[in-house]
Chain A
Amino acid sequence: MARVVVLGAGISGHTAAAFLRKKLSKKHEVVVISPSAYYEWIPSNIWVGVGRMKQKQVRFKLDKVYKRWKIQFHQAKAISIHPEGNAEHKKAFVKSVYSTGDQQGQEFVVEYDYLINATGPKLNFEATEGLGPGKNSHSVCSSSHAVESWNALKQIFEAAERGEHKKILVGTGHGSATCQGAAFEYTLNIAAEAKRRKILDKLDITWITNEYELGDFGMGGAYIKQNGYVVPTKVFTESILAEFGIKWIKRAGVYKLEPGVAHFELLDGTKDSIEFDFSMLIPAFAGSGITAFGKDDEDITAKLFMSNGFMKVDADYTPKEFEEYSVEDWPETYQSPEYENIFAIGIAFAPPHPISKPMKSVNGTPISPAPPRTGMPSGVTGKTTALNIAAKIEYNRSEIAHKASMGRMGAACIVSAGYGLFNGMAATMTVNPIVPDWENYPKYGRKINYTVGEMGLAGHWMKLSLHYMFLHKAKGYPFWWLIPE
């Protein structure tokens, strides 16, 4: 009997747990440890944040699904990994602390044969003074945050409906933040909702971003084929914002928020501030903060994790200049180089370096996006890792057959720009591969024939159908495994 422990039940961890249970015979155990009682389909949070979906539509309780699948579920937060065991435990184990119920605060230990770290990011609001819910800005990074955002935004809309002019600021809340796509979607949805309510002229909406050029999205931008031209995503993105009358500030690292004011530094070193009545700013991400200990309880955290808390995997972490970046640097198996029974997937793995060119202001402040690993890559790395572990357990395979490098896989990104079956809109963008491969595709870095960039109602239908399809899949309804990641 083998036991596989999955830390985290987000898109990546939940996908891994589902496929492990499907592939492993019943004598083997799958254990999920996650601090939240819910699975959330995070891409739909932007609709919760503009009041077009309820929180219950984007999440469901995990315990019922795991009970049906016969997966052990602990609602708890993992605090330390002990890959060599210790004096008390011969086998490797994870120490966690219950986050709810009668046992809240109580520590417990689960031994493992294989461990998947899918803890996702820590939303590092503390990295920017005054940033975050409960302080001076809002977030859509969780459905609870999105509900709070909508409660605040609703008041702005009501004031605009009374004829008052209001200022809205949306974007990245730190010089090294990522997830520009989600913030961009939220900006467009605010504008679309305001347009539907005929109050767009009462709102002064500004998009603030750490990107060098708009449309970078943390992946160094892309080229798309459009109307007989090859167009950079910069033009595509700026065109969408201009259409809605949204202003923008680029190359900006927000470093401090005060009530109604955001202070930022630009790449040229100048410092400025902007006033707002409502703001939604994405924080920087960090690893979840799990520590690691050796056989004699010595601290080996630095052996398993990078200093930012993300786990080291089979990537090439040699420091390099941007010009030397290669797709070969990116991991394929997500296996720890130190312990072959430990894997890190989704946002939890440490990328070898950014995809966008790292930049610093003249004052030395880093102002450029971190690489994205959300959405499709999260699901794909979850599934491939589950298949690899299942093959090791069931067939005793030593080699890793399934590989999923971000330098080989493509991704589709559907950027919602308004909700409605007949009036909705979304920009559908595809890139292949996610990490530009300048050696094989020297002209555009990616396969230009595989790229798409198109605005329209069809994109909204796709985004909406993905919402229902992926929730169907996550709930383990019939034929869930046929739905790709």
Chain B
Amino acid sequence: MKTNPKVYYEEAYPPVPLGFVRFMRKFFLWQLFRFFVLNYKVMRIVAYGHS
């Protein structure tokens, strides 16, 4: 009997991204925007956390 190889092991359960998410991760304009957003969020932590 054939068993389904896609289930019943750890690596089968996490969510994995589909094409749109993978596209947006490398879409230049969106990433340029995210670059500034992430920098702001990191700088917020840096400014707050440095006594």
Contact = CB atoms under 8 A, between A and B. Distances in A.
A458 B51 contact: no
Nearest to B46: A484
Given A403-B51, A461-B31, A462-B38, A410 B45 contact: yes
Given A241-B11, A241-B14, A422-B28, A454 B45 contact: no
Interface of A: 235, 238-239, 241-243, 246-248, 376, 380, 383-384, 402-404, 408-412, 422-423, 425, 428, 430, 432-433, 450, 452, 454-459, 461-462, 484-485
B27 to A, nearest CB: 8
A311 to B, nearest CB: 21
Interface in B1-51: 10-11, 13-17, 24-26, 28, 31-32, 34-35, 38-39, 41-51
Contacts of A458: 31-32, 34-35, 38
Given A459-B38, A461-B35, A433 B11 contact: no
Given A430-B42, A454-B34, A384 B51 contact: yes
A404 B51 contact: yes
16 contacts: A235-B14, A235-B15, A242-B11, A248-B11, A376-B46, A384-B51, A402-B51, A408-B51, A412-B45, A428-B42, A430-B45, A432-B49, A433-B49, A450-B41, A452-B41, A461-B35
A405 B24 CA distance: 37
B11 to A, nearest CB: 5
A462 B42 contact: yes
Contacts of B10: 238, 247-248
A408 B49 CA distance: 6
The CB with the most chain A CB atoms within 10 A, among B11, B14, B16, is that of B14
Chain A interface SS verdict (over half): mixed
A384 B48 CA distance: 14
Nearest to A246: B11
B16 to A, nearest CB: 5
Given A242-B16, A485-B46, 7 more contacts: A235-B15, A239-B16, A404-B51, A409-B49, A410-B45, A410-B48, A432-B49
Contacts of A485: 46, 50
Contacts of B16: 239, 242-243
Contact of A238 (B14, B24, B31, B42): B14
The CB with the most chain A CB atoms within 10 A, among B11, B16, B25, B50, is that of B50
Contacts of B15: 235, 239
Would you list the 6 A-B pairs with minimal beta carbon distance, nearest first?
A409-B49, A410-B45, A238-B14, A458-B35, A458-B34, A410-B49
Contact of A457 (B31, B46, B48): B31
A383 B50 CA distance: 10
Nearest to A240: B14
Given A408-B51, A457-B26, A432 B45 contact: yes
Nearest to B48: A410
Contacts of B39: 462
Nearest to B13: A238
Contacts of B45: 410-412, 430, 432, 450
Contacts of B26: 422-423, 425, 456-457
A457 B25 contact: yes
A19 to B, nearest CB: 12
A404 B25 CA distance: 35
